[in-house]
Amino acid sequence: MSRGDGHPGIPGRGADGAGRPAPPAATAAPGEADTAVAGDTQGPLALGKLTSVVLDALAEGAAARGGPLPGGGPDAVAERLRAACAPVLPEHGTGAEEALRTVVRAVAEGAADPADPWCTAHLHCPPLAVAAAADLAAAALNPSMDSWDQAPAAAVLEQEVTAALAALVYPRWNAPDALITSGGTESNLVALLLARERARATRAAGAAGVRVVCGGNAHHSVRRAAWLLGLPEPVVVDCPGGRLDPAAVDRALAGLTGPALVVATAGTTDEGLVDPLPRLAAVAARHGAELHVDAAYGGPLLFSDRLAPLLAGLESAVSVTLDLHKLGWQPAAAGVLAVRDTELLAPLALRADYLNAEDDGEAGLPDLLGRSLRTTRRPDVLKIAATLRALGRSGLGALVEHCVRTARDFAVLVDAHPALRRRPGGIGISTVLFRPVAADAAPPAEGDALVAEVRRRLLAEGRAVVGRAVAEDADGTRRLWLKATLLHPRATGEDLAGLLDLAADAAARIRTTHAQEPEGPR
Ligand SMILES: *Cc1c(COP(=O)(O)O)cnc(C)c1O
């Protein structure tokens, strides 16, 4: 069935609930298949049977959804999910196959699927099948990365992969290193923690600790990390046009006395803009401050020879945040924190007798505990390693280039659209902001309200997931925009043209509805 709205090819929504198998009668005692373990030589057999149930349920759920997200809005989604999955803790189980069929199908049917080209709101990538398949192995083997005796080979793999990623970020440094984290939030937290500890070690910094200087464009996790670490409130400076202004940072640093950490962003979350890293590095150096770069979004530009120059200056940073569950196509979580010298990680060292006893270390067992703030830790490195090997640097670079090209094509389509307008100025890495021209005709607050309503309308109809961002317009006014974050490694501008018509059409429909209301538009 065709959707008839230019959507690129997922068959029509069939969410009528028909065809859902009735759960079999529950049994009091679990069967052998229900308690099979996933590892060892027999595990794959049990896992294979159940995996085929999972794969069928995924396909059925996606077909029933028939679009990038479930229609009907939050209440309808909650009702369907509860109807399918209740009770979640039955007195007697339904067995592994039934449970997987039911739960996976329900979650798939109700998913916002980033593999749909019209699911573009966030830095929420469609994971590559190779990475998802590797993650199955991670779950089956379950190495825990906090001690060698739980992860003998996985620990070595992590060492090799983090060394390679550190060298990618810091090719000219002798001993760079990197940690695997749960994402940009944890990477930024650890970066600020390490800065705090350096400040504490190098001088009597007083109770205040290191002062973070960042832009209004910085990710909220930077401010939250400062709060969590008991650091003074960060100095937040101007970002004309969405980029951190080196002159403003210069003035901010001139007003500080203690140690400071400038946090720049390479790929802002709202716009994908890269702060002027070389100039910020120079300003920081002039004041004896350190630089941390949050490249959660933009870091993977390093995979592409053509795009890596956009990150010139990155090597001046003492630490760099980088996410592979954004441009990197990993299922969450796949975060990285790179540091320019392995010695910088020393403050994370920790002794716990049951995990890394001193005599175990003397006898040659590697100490892993200082590689994370977490204790039990998933081997997220496994899927990363499989992906790096499968695609190579150039293969990943080509995917990053594809997304950047798609964003350019998408911007051209916006510019050519009679009912839409793009945010003036450069476009971000793979992010494009736009809004209906109808929103400009209304008074400012009403215009922004129309933009917000277009987004919610598309969500409620289950037709597209478009983001929102507040950003400066040409006249300096901050307005609300629709945001498309293009991370699909295969979608093209052509696949996205219909999305623009859909947004324009939603704006027109909302205006018509409001015009018919007695009190006029809100
Ligand atoms: C996404 C993002 C983060 C947070 O990363 P998580 O992986 O969601 O924890 C931090 N900084 C920037 C610039 C981001 O885009």
* Closest CA relative to residue 186, chosen from 134, 224, 241: 224
Whether 160 shows a pLDDT value over 60: the answer reads yes
> Does the C-beta of 221 come closer than 6 Å to ligand 1?
yes
CA atoms within 13 A on the CB side of 136: 14
Residue 201 has a pLDDT of 83
Q: Which numbered atom of ligand 1 lies nearest the CA of 269?
A: 15
* Cα 106 to averaged position of ligand 1 atoms, centre (Å): 28
Element (H, E) at 468: strand 467-472
> Does the C-beta of 385 come closer than 6 Å to ligand 1?
no
Residue 206 has a pLDDT of 54
Q: Which numbered atom of ligand 1 lies nearest the CA of 325?
A: 7
> Does the C-beta of 265 come closer than 6 Å to ligand 1?
yes
Q: How far is CA 345 from the centre of its chain?
A: 24
Residue 8 has a pLDDT of 65
Whether 397 shows a pLDDT value over 70: the answer reads yes
Pocket test for ligand 1, best of 186, 188, 221 (most atoms within 8 A of CB): 221
Whether 5 shows a pLDDT value over 70: the answer reads no
Q: Quick one: fold of 393-516?
A: Aspartate Aminotransferase, domain 1 (3.90.1150)
Q: How far is CA 53 from the centre of its chain?
A: 28
* Cα 430 to averaged position of ligand 1 atoms, centre (Å): 15
Q: Quick one: fold of 143-377?
A: Aspartate Aminotransferase; domain 2 (3.40.640)
* Cα 149 to averaged position of ligand 1 atoms, centre (Å): 32
> Does the C-beta of 296 come closer than 6 Å to ligand 1?
yes
Rounded to the nearest integer, the mean pLDDT of the chain is 93
> Does the C-beta of 170 come closer than 6 Å to ligand 1?
no
* CA–CA gap between residue 5 and residue 458 (Å, rounded): 12
Residue 521 has a pLDDT of 46
* Cα 322 to averaged position of ligand 1 atoms, centre (Å): 8
* CA–CA gap between residue 99 and residue 240 (Å, rounded): 53
Q: Decide: helix, strand or coil at residue 368.
A: coil
Going across the sheet that includes 290-294, the strands are: 177-181, 335-339, 319-323, 290-294, 260-265, 211-215, 235-237
Whether 194 shows a pLDDT value over 50: the answer reads yes
Q: Which of the residue ranges 22-36, 348-362, 400-414, 425-439 would you say has the lowest mean pLDDT?
A: 22-36
Residues 97-123: tens digit of each pLDDT: 999 999 999 999 999 999 999 999 999
Pocket test for ligand 1, best of 187, 214, 219 (most atoms within 8 A of CB): 219
Residues 163-177: tens digit of each pLDDT: 999 999 999 999 999
Whether 377 shows a pLDDT value over 60: the answer reads yes
Question: Quick one: average pLDDT of 76-98?
Answer: 97
Residue pair 268/237 in contact (Cβ under 8 Å)? The answer is no
> Does the C-beta of 187 come closer than 6 Å to ligand 1?
no
* Closest CA relative to residue 298, chosen from 263, 271, 279: 271
* Closest CA relative to residue 300, chosen from 319, 326, 277: 326
Task: Count Cβ atoms below 10 Å from residue 97 Cβ, excluding itself.
Answer: 18
* CA–CA gap between residue 74 and residue 65 (Å, rounded): 15
**Helices 381-416, 152-169: inter-axial angle, 10-degree rounding:** 40
Q: Look-up: residue for tokens 């400009």? A: 440
Burial 245-277 (b: 16+ CB within 10 A, else e): bbebbbebbeeeeebbbbbbbbbbbbbbbbbbb
**Helices 129-141, 381-416: inter-axial angle, 10-degree rounding:** 150
Residue 11 has a pLDDT of 41
Domains of the chain, residue spans: 36-111, 143-377, 393-516
* Cα 48 to averaged position of ligand 1 atoms, centre (Å): 35
Using pLDDT thresholds of 50, 70 and 90, give the confidence band for residue 215.
very high
Residue pair 272/429 in contact (Cβ under 8 Å)? The answer is yes
Question: Quick one: average pLDDT of 304-323?
Answer: 98
* CA–CA gap between residue 188 and residue 338 (Å, rounded): 11
Residue 519 has a pLDDT of 56
Q: Does the bond joining 398 to the residue before it have cis omega, within 30 degrees of 0? A: no
Q: Which numbered atom of ligand 1 lies nearest the CA of 221?
A: 10
Residues 425-463: tens digit of each pLDDT: 888 999 999 999 999 988 889 999 999 999 999 999 999
- Quote the percentage of the chain above a pLDDT of 90: 88
Residues 219-253: tens digit of each pLDDT: 999 999 999 999 999 999 989 999 999 999 999 99
Pairwise pLDDT comparison (263 vs 205), residue with the higher score: 263
Q: Residue whose CA is closest, atom 5 of ligand 1?
A: 184
pTM score, whole prediction: 0.93
Using pLDDT thresholds of 50, 70 and 90, give the confidence band for residue 18.
very low
* Closest CA relative to residue 323, chosen from 429, 245, 247: 429
* Closest CA relative to residue 380, chosen from 101, 107, 187: 187
Residue 95 has a pLDDT of 96
Residue 203 has a pLDDT of 65
* Cα 324 to averaged position of ligand 1 atoms, centre (Å): 10
Pocket test for ligand 1, best of 179, 185, 314 (most atoms within 8 A of CB): 185
Pairwise pLDDT comparison (181 vs 2), residue with the higher score: 181
The amino acid at residue 222 is V
* Cα 471 to averaged position of ligand 1 atoms, centre (Å): 18
Residues 464-485: tens digit of each pLDDT: 999 999 999 999 999 999 999 9
Q: Which numbered atom of ligand 1 lies nearest the CA of 297?
A: 15
Residue 30 has a pLDDT of 84
* CA–CA gap between residue 512 and residue 522 (Å, rounded): 12
* CA–CA gap between residue 336 and residue 225 (Å, rounded): 16
Per the structure block, which two tokens stand in for 43?
């595990």
Handedness of CA 277, 278, 282, 288 (dihedral sign): positive
* Cα 211 to averaged position of ligand 1 atoms, centre (Å): 21
